Structure 1
């Protein structure tokens, strides 16, 4: 019998205890760690490479979905949460199962059966793509961005961002204190940020409107925006139309 290395990540100690009690009689399960927040959980996942993860959604510091964005490969995830509104999003990330608290022992065993089946069968390419896509097709608005660089994780509030710049398959995020590279597309941020707060002024730039100080002509039929920080960004013709409409000029 192969041992299933398991990690539990939940900020509620009673919830972790419940999962442990349900797993106590399962001879093939080895709990290699339990953690109360996403940062500790992420570090443990990178260290232990578990076969199965029981993951809460709403946690301090780092949510369950933000944690998934930082993983370098897909894992078998069973979500455990008190919020039913995240179920669709969880399955779009190809979750093994979604347990709504409080869940019974019978319901838990059902999820564990699905996990064992998943572990014993390789993921298809389509399933891996679902996990790594991070639900980009969703229209859900975000209020912060999680960025990993080497051993550091930054959680950036959207209201601290000045603008985004496209860089091939990445986006550079400029804040008041520095810049951060994120492996996402401009299309993703354009569809996941409030259109009343951000404007796509150019194919390379998505700017926070309240950071614009001036809109100036630049050469023939060209424009630039001057940000409050002094930076200047090019504005395309279509971007100029969108910006005029947004600024009600």
Structure 2
């Protein structure tokens, strides 16, 4: 086998050291670098184009899943995670390699063997899509959204978002600081945001409830909401029913 180029991304120094020590025993592995947060790791993946990435799931600045959303290039991922055994079953179902901390040398070799097979089969694209699909189908609520534009990454807190607007295969996110384009569906945000805070008022709009200033009639059987910022958004019939229910009108 040709040399496999690998990088390590983990905010825990001891965890990085453990992975590095196991990899040093593998003659065909070349470690390109190790990084302590998702921002550095993302740049390294896009710049160095590694064959294999050992990636922590939970990191403070950018989680492993958030980082994968922003990748320009596909790569083979072995997760290193402190998730419990039950949560990890979802990873197994989607054929995702993982190392549950603390892991042994034998467990590491097993995961590495699987990764080598994937590299041989050139299946990186499918693996990344499976990871994203698993993440999108989970029921876990989000409290922030990461967006990449050119060489800049913005981490947007959900409580700073005014509303979302559907734009084909993308969603425009509006905040008081500006607007951001994200390649996600409205359905994703509708199912991953707290329903107590957001309402789908129209097929094109998902609105944060506390941004409403007024609800006004527009034409026959149609309404608009006026936001605190002064913006006006159309409300569909179904959206009006949902909004009335949430506002308890």
Same fold (TM > 0.5):
yes
Query: Shift of the alpha carbon at 1:76?
Result: 0.9
User: What is the CA–CA distance in structure 2 between the aligned matches of 1:124 and 1:83, rounded to whole Å?
Assistant: 23
1:87 aligns with 2:88: yes
1:122 aligned partner: 122
Q: How far has the Cα of 1:74 moved from its partner?
A: 2.8
CA distance in 1, matches of 2:87, 2:189: 20
Contact persistence 1:74–1:132 (CA under 8 A): no
Q: TM-score, normalised by structure 2?
A: 0.95
- More displaced stretch, 5-14 vs 135-144: 135-144
SS of aligned partner of 2:171: strand
1:245 corresponds in structure 2 to 245
TM-score, normalising length from structure 1? Answer: 0.95
Unmatched runs of 5 consecutive residues or more in structure 2? none
Aligned residue number for residue 149 of structure 1 = 149
Superposed, 1:163-202 pairs within 5 Å as: 163-202=163-202
Gaps of 5+ in 1: none
Displacement of 1:136 in angstroms is: 1.9
Measured against aligned partners, the alpha-carbon deviations of 1:165-190 in whole angstroms (never above 9, x if no partner) come to 00011000001110000001101100
Q: Secondary structure at the match of 1:99?
A: strand
* Aligned alpha-carbon RMSD (Å): 1.7
* Cross-structure match for 2:100: 100
Where 1:206 maps in the other structure, the secondary structure is: strand
Partner Cα distance (2:53, 2:93) in 1? 17
**Moved runs in structure 1, 4+ residues, more than 6 A?**
none
Residue 134 of structure 1, CA deviation:
5.8
- Against the structure 1 CA distance between its residues 53 and 138, is the aligned structure 2 distance closer, same or farther, given a 3 Å change threshold? same
Q: Which residue of 1 aligns with 2:227?
A: 227
Q: Secondary structure at the match of 2:59?
A: coil
Q: Which residue of 2 aligns with 1:24?
A: 24
Range that drifts further, 30-39 or 129-138: 129-138
1:124-174 alpha-carbon deviations (Å, 9 max, x no partner): 876564245363222211110000000000000000000000001100000
Greater mean deviation of Cα atoms: 129-138 or 212-221: 129-138
The number of residues matched between the two structures is 248
- After superposition, the Cα gap between the structure-2 partners of 1:13 and 1:151, relative to the gap in structure 1 and judged at 3 Å, is same
